[in-house]
Amino acid sequence: MIAALVIPADAPPYIAAITPDLDTLQSVVGGCIEVVRLADGILYCNEEGRLLGLPFNEAATTLARTTTPDSMNRQDVFAGTCLVVGVLDPATGEPSEEEQDVSDVLVGLLERQGWPLRQPD
């Protein structure tokens, strides 16, 4: 299990313990996954979210644009629930062999952008 940042389109983001396998990732995003490399992690979204008419995910879109400004086109937006995990080896900056807990840097950045985490019940 790893700690993942779940970013719903229509609710506050939260941290969830998940098993990072394909079935779990697809279940969280509600369909086929698209993988987007961020500066300090990986964002998973529904590959067909916009085509399916899922709601615009402003928080995930802002997070991706902030951490990868050179690779995000202004027309690129995310729809539906997104999921972020950490995958970069801190020593090399390269993807690690296994997915890791989401980075505190990404969580802090999201909170500073105006999307505080939902507190556990």
What pLDDT score does 110 carry? 72
What pTM does this model have? Answer: 0.80
The pLDDT mean for the chain works out to: 80
Residue pLDDT, tens place only, 33-84: 998 888 778 889 999 999 999 999 999 998 888 877 566 665 678 999 999 8
The answer to whether 104 and 5 are in contact (CB under 8 A) is no
User: How many other C-beta atoms are found inside a 10 Å radius of the C-beta of residue 60?
Assistant: 29
Task: Give residue limits of the domains in the chain.
Answer: 2-112
What pLDDT score does 121 carry? 55
